[in-house]
Copies of this chain bind each other. A is one copy, B any other.
Amino acid sequence: MSEEKTLQELREQIEQLEALNSRNGLDLSREIDNLTEKLAEREKDTKEKLEEWDKVNLARHPDRPGSEEYLDYLMEDFYPLHGDRLIGDDGALIGGLAKYNGETVMVIAQNKGGEVEQSQQSNFGMLRSEGYRKAQRLMKLAETFQFPVLTLIDTPGAYPGKEAEERNIGGMIAKSISEMVSLEVPTVAAVIGEGGSGGAVAIGAADRVVMLENSIYSVISPEGCAAILWEDRDKADEAARALKLTAGHAQDLGIIDEIIPEGGSGAHEDFETTADNLDHSLSNHLEELENYEEDQLLAKRRKKYRSIGSFKKVMKKEQS
């Protein structure tokens, strides 16, 4: 709102200057050019910010299709497996054996749940320790039988609960990452909605990572980031822009392998086109990965993650 006001003010200023210009031999062109440039920049900024924030809203759209819908659509057959064999069965993580393009794959997917009741059961996609442990169990099972692992990421983050901390949720996320990155089968991860921080990357340490066009993937929620860095949760839109949490940025940073276009104005409007595109992408990646021997696969994966990061050499600089 206040941003829009500023833009409006700038536009009016320019208009007034233009009206005054060339009259009485007055040359305001430099000032006009300056302001016009400023306006353009400001507009671009605003658009970007809106774009980022729009994507956050799209990624979280209540009608956005979730894992269950994609599995229903993409898998010829799906046999859900339950439980972590120790604590319980986490409704926020669905997983199991599936037939995909005629082959068996292990699916591990975060599940926000659609209806209100479902959402509560699945804890709005926020996994607990047992959810990550279940993911680890399914990964190891897949490895035993050499089934490729397909993960669908859609979580606001791991559940910030008392019990979760008592049950070492951080350690469980670490273990999931560690198991996944060492898994001796092809792995593909797709961010289909929210890729919320450590809770998401726990099942994202894959050979290939793809993102739906309007999904987000971030080190922290924009709200959390705004609260910490701006000390104001309402600056979430600004934080979203700063965090560069869209698929485009993720690709620019070299972290994801593909952006999957969504149909219409987003997956919630045109599910089928979106799911078909996802299907196409997953199939391609799996097919490519199956060309590699186990050790090639692991070597490639290690190399990939070894090289992620951005830094520069320190030049001789003065330090106290």
Contacts and interface: CB of A to CB of B under 8 A. Distances in A.
Contacts of A168: 85-86
B85 A87 contact: no
A175 B86 CA distance: 11
Contacts of A241: none
A187 interface: no
Copies of this chain, tallied across the complex: 2
Interface residues of A, number: 10
Contacts of A175: 85
Contacts of A122: none
A171 interface: yes
Interface string A206-231: 00000000000000000000000000
B171 A129 contact: no
Contact of A171 (B85, B133, B167, B172): B85
Contact of A167 (B86, B129, B172): B86
Interface in A136-183: 167-168, 171-172, 175
Contacts of A85: 168, 171, 175
Contacts of A86: 86-87, 129, 133, 167-168, 171-172
Nearest to A171: B85
A180 to B, nearest CB: 17
Contacts of A129: 86
A127 to B, nearest CB: 14
Interface string A78-116: 000000011100000000000000000000000000000
Contacts of A167: 86-87
A132 to B, nearest CB: 10
Nearest to A169: B86
Contacts of A171: 85-86
A135 to B, nearest CB: 14
A157 B222 CA distance: 51
A87 B172 CA distance: 11
Nearest to A175: B85
Interface in A39-84: none
A171 B87 CA distance: 11
A85 B85 CA distance: 15
A167 B129 CA distance: 14
Nearest to A172: B86
Interface in A233-275: none
Contacts of A133: 86
Interface of A: 85-87, 129, 133, 167-168, 171-172, 175
6 contacts: A85-B171, A86-B129, A86-B168, A86-B171, A86-B172, A87-B87
Given A85-B168, A86-B168, A86-B171, 9 more contacts: A85-B171, A85-B175, A86-B86, A86-B87, A86-B129, A86-B133, A86-B167, A86-B172, A87-B87
- Please name the 8 residue pairs, one residue from A and one from B, whose CB atoms are nearest each other, closest first: A85-B171, A86-B168, A86-B167, A85-B168, A86-B129, A87-B167, A86-B172, A86-B133
